[in-house]
Chain A
Amino acid sequence: DQQVKQNSPSLSVQEGRISILNCDYTNSMFDYFLWYKKYPAEGPTFLISISSIKDKNEDGRFTVFLNKSAKHLSLHIVPSQPGDSAVYFCAAPYGGSQGNLIFGKGTKLSVKP
């Protein structure tokens, strides 16, 4: 059972435009969510998180929106830059001790100059 789903394996955007990466989840008990970025041959790098008590969190060019009723979150990158080209994962902690992050399968973002 895929509790965190990223249904778009890839996304291509023009430099300077907005990138919107989507994530759906099934477990209403998740109390916060995280986004990670991964370049080839490197480990994932933490980008931004959001608590389930909020509907928006912003950090520079990155904004995450959470719609709890739809069990949906999205990451907006504005403006997109070629260096943003990477695989983006959303994740949520699972389990009583919350040591287990469940990741989606990722969306590969390509930002074209």
Chain B
Amino acid sequence: DTGVSQDPRHKITKRGQNVTFRCDPISEHNRLYWYRQTLGQGPEFLTYFQNEAQLEKSRLLSDRFSAERPKGSFSTLEIQRTEQGDSAMYLCASSQGAGKVDGYTFGSGTRLTVV
């Protein structure tokens, strides 16, 4: 297993366009998380899944954002009608259980630039 994979690594899009990111977690991990990081800030929680169930969503996740994890494997994060404020690094992570001892394993992220 090569860890958590995210695709694409970089995305430049025009304001108003829709974008979709993909995350492939570590195969034996049942939890999958999405975070967003902007310059000078720590990662901010967006949402997480346990298997295929989306258990928690942040108020940061406006109705333009939607995340799915069909069959409890890979996940997608879609942003509709992108705005310049959506420009950020989008990080995916996975863990087996709550990750209290081993933490979460993060991917390298997708950097989104909205122009």
Contact = CB atoms under 8 A, between A and B. Distances in A.
Interface of A: 4, 32, 34, 36, 41-47, 49, 51, 89, 91, 93-95, 97-106
A101 B36 CA distance: 12
Interface residues of B, number: 28
A99 B104 CA distance: 10
Contact of A49 (B33, B35, B44, B103): B103
Contacts of B43: 44, 89, 101, 103
Give me the 9 closest cross-chain CB pairs, A-B, nearest first. A46-B103, A103-B42, A43-B106, A99-B48, A100-B45, A44-B106, A99-B56, A103-B43, A98-B98
Contact of B42 (A41, A42, A47, A105): A105
A101 B106 CA distance: 12
A101 B108 contact: no
A49 B45 contact: no
A32 B100 contact: yes
B48 A89 contact: no
A106 B39 CA distance: 11
B25 interface: no
